[in-house]
């Protein structure tokens, strides 16, 4: 992921320097386990533990010759070990995937914890915003067309629960991705005791794979990327709602617009929904990582490395982009401007047409057939569309022409927007308990 979208904490998790720190940690724990078992000399552990991780520059220099990243790392780290002879016990009985998959699991768990904390924040912001606007009337839309009266808090409550479910999915994906293996070539433990694997797993807070055939099967990592993609897409759903609400013809919602901010290089009047558009665009990048990572599940026999080059790009990109999206969506919702007056104006702009479904129900209860009622109400509604005459007036005229009597007082009662949202209290009661 380019630096423009990389926040510092997540950027460090996927930096080369931190990767080598994790590699050192894994190798040291393996060495400790060997020493406890008496497989390697105990005096080899401390010099290795004290050796500083190699720099990314030094590893890259050696890898340019060896064309093998793990060998380059081990060589560079051995150069930092005093006495150097202790380094010969590092990586004892292991194969490259033991190191790579175990360190990757630790790295992805770290990244997930950062994302979970930000998802918690976004759930809380969405919850509080929805509760603040549980009485803010607006028109509900289907297909982009006015439907019936609603409240803005209802729409945001849906997003709050969706993000909470997405966060819970990510919790489960954390378990799926926190799987390691130290089982040696082709995963048969031929040169390493399974107790070493158990020791390292416990120290790192990971779970040993049920089966390892030299690599950890990528179904868990695929689940993790899919969970990130859902988080990102819920962020996109929120942003898309804001984009629609900020259109000139709607003008119900506004992104925060800071002092000195510019909307257009050519048109000074513009206040564009740039945050929301960026969220919608970046969500595509996260979703795009699902297929490449999932294609790492089928490998040749016990192991190949066709997955590794993909994962070097896809896993950091998915995590970094999701981190950025959560951060930006939280900023968007914290600073969102809601124009309640404009929402009410838009709700009334169709001259009462949004009450047509309620009128249908009321007339059916008088004994008319659904077909006759629908024809009457639709004819009156089309007249309102064409002339701008208030729907209740065109309805009266159509009913009189058809010889249908209307209860005027009842008609006024069912055509009040507040009547439509009285049953939403149960939604907001559940929302108050969301955390």
Q: Give, for all 435 residues of the chain, the pLDDT tens digit.
A: 789 999 999 999 999 999 999 999 999 999 999 999 999 999 999 999 999 999 999 999 999 999 999 999 999 999 999 999 999 999 999 999 999 999 999 999 999 999 999 999 999 999 999 999 999 999 999 999 999 999 999 999 999 999 999 999 999 999 999 999 999 999 999 999 999 999 999 999 999 999 989 899 999 999 999 999 999 999 999 999 999 999 999 999 999 876 655 555 555 666 888 999 999 999 999 999 999 999 999 999 988 888 999 999 999 999 999 999 999 999 999 999 999 999 999 999 999 999 999 999 888 888 889 999 999 999 999 999 999 999 999 999 998 888 888 888 888 888 888 888 888 999 999 999 999
The whole-number pLDDT of residue 409 equals: 83
Instruction: Locate 128 and state its tokens.
Output: 């509080």
The whole-number pLDDT of residue 217 equals: 95
Q: Could you give the residue numbers annotated as active site?
A: 143, 264
CATH: 3.40.50.920, 3.40.50.1110, 1.10.275.10, 3.10.180.10. Which one for 1-92? 1.10.275.10
Which residue matches tokens 């010969």? 88
- Measured CA to CA, the distance from residue 53 to residue 59 in angstroms comes to 10
* Cβ-contact 159, 238 below 8 angstroms: yes
Q: Where are the alpha helices (DSSP H) in 288-424?
A: 290-294, 306-335, 340-347, 356-364, 370-387, 391-402, 408-414
* Cβ-contact 370, 376 below 8 angstroms: no
Task: Please determine whether the domains at 1-92 and 95-344 fall in the same fold group of CATH.
Answer: no
The domain segmentation of the chain, as residue ranges, is 1-92, 95-344, 353-414
In whole angstroms, how large is the CA radius of gyration of the chain?
30
* Cβ-contact 156, 142 below 8 angstroms: no
The whole-number pLDDT of residue 261 equals: 59
What global pTM score does this model have?
A: 0.92
Please name which of 318, 263, 251, 328 lies closest in space to residue 291, comparing C-alpha atoms. Answer: 318
The CATH class that applies to domain 95-344 reads mainly alpha
């Amino acid at each position: 992921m380019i630096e423009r979208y990389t926040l510092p904490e997540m950027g460090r998790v996927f930096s080369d320097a931190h990767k080598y720190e994790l590699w050192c940690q894994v190798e040291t724990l393996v060495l400790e386990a060997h020493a406890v078992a008496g497989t390697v000399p105990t005096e080899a552990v401390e010099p290795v533990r004290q050796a500083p991780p190699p720099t990314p520059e030094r590893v890259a220099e050696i890898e340019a010759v060896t064309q093998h990243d793990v060998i380059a790392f081990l060589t560079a780290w051995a150069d930092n070990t005093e006495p150097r002879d202790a380094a010969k016990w590092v990586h004892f009985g292991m194969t490259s995937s033991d190191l790579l998959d175990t360190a990757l699991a630790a790295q992805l768990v770290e990244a997930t914890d950062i994302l979970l904390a930000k998802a918690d924040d976004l759930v809380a912001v969405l919850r509080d915003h929805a509760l603040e606007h549980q009485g803010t009337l607006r028109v509900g839309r289907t297909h982009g067309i006015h439907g019936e009266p609603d409240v803005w808090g209802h729409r945001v409550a849906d997003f709050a629960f969706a993000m909470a479910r997405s966060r819970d999915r990510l919790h489960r994906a954390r378990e799926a991705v926190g799987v390691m293996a130290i089982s040696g070539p082709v995963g048969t433990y031929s040169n390493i005791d399974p107790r070493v694997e158990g020791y390292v797993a416990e120290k790192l807070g990971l779970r040993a794979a049920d089966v390892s055939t030299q690599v950890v099967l990528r179904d868990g990592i695929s689940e993790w990327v899919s969970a990130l993609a859902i988080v990102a897409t819920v962020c996109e759903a929120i942003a898309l709602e804001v984009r629609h609400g900020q259109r000139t013809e709607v003008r119900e919602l506004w992104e925060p617009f800071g002092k000195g901010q510019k909307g257009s290089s050519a048109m000074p009047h513009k206040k564009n929904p740039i945050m929301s558009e960026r969220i919608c665009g970046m969500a595509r990048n996260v979703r795009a990582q699902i297929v490449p990572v999932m294609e790492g599940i089928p490998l040749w026999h016990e192991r190949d490395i066709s997955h590794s080059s993909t994962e070097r790009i896809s896993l950091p990109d998915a995590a970094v982009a999701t981190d950025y999206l959560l951060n930006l969506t939280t900023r968007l919702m914290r600073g969102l401007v809601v124009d309640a007056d404009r929402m009410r104006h838009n709700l009334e702009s169709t001259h009462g047409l949004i009450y047509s479904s309620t009128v249908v129900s009321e007339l059916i209860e008088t004994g008319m057939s659904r077909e006759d009622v629908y024809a009457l109400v639709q004819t009156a509604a089309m007249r309102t569309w064409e002339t701008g005459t208030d729907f209740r007036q065109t309805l009266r005229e159509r009913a009189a022409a058809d010889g249908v009597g209307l209860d005027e007082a009842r008609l006024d009662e069912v055509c009040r927007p507040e009547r439509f949202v009285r049953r939403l209290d149960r939604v907001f009661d559940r929302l108050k308990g969301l955390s």
